[in-house]
Amino acid sequence: MRLFIACPVPEEIKNKIADLESEFRVSNADVKWVRPESIHLTLKFLGEVDEDKISEINNKISKAIEGFSVFRAVVEKIGVFPDWKRIRVVWVGIEDGQKELNELSKSVEDKMASIGFKKEKRGFTAHITIGRVRSGRSIDRLIDMVRKKSDISLGAIQISEVLLMQSILRPEGASYKCLERFNLDRKEL
């Protein structure tokens, strides 16, 4: 099974991202835009995992979120990975709430490492991937459009749970299935 750990994104924000993607499609750039129902905020990609390891993963996620209370994150700004000269990913960022997401990601990363998953070499950057560039076709036009929208604000989300997700690869693109939900502490709300 291909698994990852993520936080869900509410429908209101997904719809705003879908509208943004529609605007960017006009560029005619060769980009695989993320379908609204597939939008999420990844904390840790696990890759291919044997099904018999799921209960151990669930146990470690439960431990990783201990001490974390529900918090607010603001979805704003648009950027690209790795840089403007070699765009591979278009994303919307997280501003307020970045510190908490970094801490949550680190806790998840540490717990997953304790059961054999490799730690990421790159530092965690809280973001929501909205598109993956497949070729350089019309890329300059897309860059211009993205830069003009770079200061956009799409609203706030409440980070209240962490999900263990399965990624099912299909010819039309990946679909995702939630295997388990883990609620953050609500005592401070």
* Catalytic positions: 40, 127
Q: Which residues contact 67 (CB under 8 A, 6 or more apart)?
A: 185
Among the listed residues 74, 65, 80, the one whose alpha carbon sits nearest the alpha carbon of residue 163: 65
Spell out a b/e string for 4-39, using b for 16 or more CB atoms within 10 Å of the CB, else e: bbbbbbeeebbebbbebbeebeebebebebbebeeb
